[in-house]
Amino acid sequence: MRYRLVIFDWDGTLMDSVARIVTCMQAAARDAGWGHLEEAAVRDIIGLGLPEAIDRLCPGIDAERFELLRSRYAYHFVEGSRTPMPFFAGVEAGIARLRELPARRLAVATGKSRRGLDRVFRESGSGAWFHASRTADETRSKPHPQMLEELLVELDVPVEEAVMVGDTEYDLEMARALGMDRVAVTWGVHAPERLAASRPVYTAVAVEALFDWLAS
C-alpha cells in the first residue's frame, strides 16, 4: 500500500466545477461594479479561499464592495447558475476502488467554505466517501499547510504516509511546505509546467491513471 491517507483537492481535481466558478465570479464582479474579470485570471485563483481570491482578483477593493462581491458570488454559485458540476469521468469508480482497500483513509482539503463543501457533499451524495475534510474558512487558505496539519492529527497519520492530490500549485505547495508527497493532475486549472515546479512525485494525465497509481 503506497499511502495510508490520500487527501484530495475538490474543484478541478474531483469535480468539473471550473466553468461554474468562472462565470459566477465574473457575474459577481459585474454586480459589485468592479467590471469584467478575465477568464484566465479567475481560473488562476481557483483553489484559494474566497477572501484571498477576491483580494488577488480585485487589488485595492474597498470593504463595502468586497462584501458585495462576496455575497453576489455566493448567490450566483448557489442559486443563480445552472452550469452543471459533474465529477470527472472515472472519479466515482476510482474513489470506490480506494475505499475497498484495507486501512486506507480519504480526506478533502479545499478552498471552499464549510457551508459550500457540505452543500456539495449533500447534493452529490459524496460526503460518506471521506473520513475527514477541511475548508479554507475553518483553517487558513492554501498554500498555508494548516488544513493538512489538522487532517494528519485528526486521522492520526504521519506525514510520510500521506499524499496530497491537486490540480493547482496551491495544493502542491501546501503539501510541499510539510514535506508531504504530492500528486499533480493535469485536467484542472494550472498548466503541467507550473505544477512541475512543485516537484510532484507523480503527474496524472488521466483519471484512471491517477487511481491506478494510488491503488498500487
Catalytic residues: 9, 11
With beta carbons less than 8 A apart as the criterion, state whether 83 and 200 touch. Answer: no
User: Three-class SS of residue 117?
Assistant: helix
d(CA 36, CA 30): 6
Angstrom distances, CA of residue 172 to CA of 37, 140, 166, 180? 26, 15, 7, 9
The cell numbers describing 136, all together, are 479554507
Longest dimension (CA), the chain: 53
User: Three-class SS of residue 134?
Assistant: strand
Question: Cβ–Cβ contacts within 10 Å for residue 12, how many?
Answer: 23
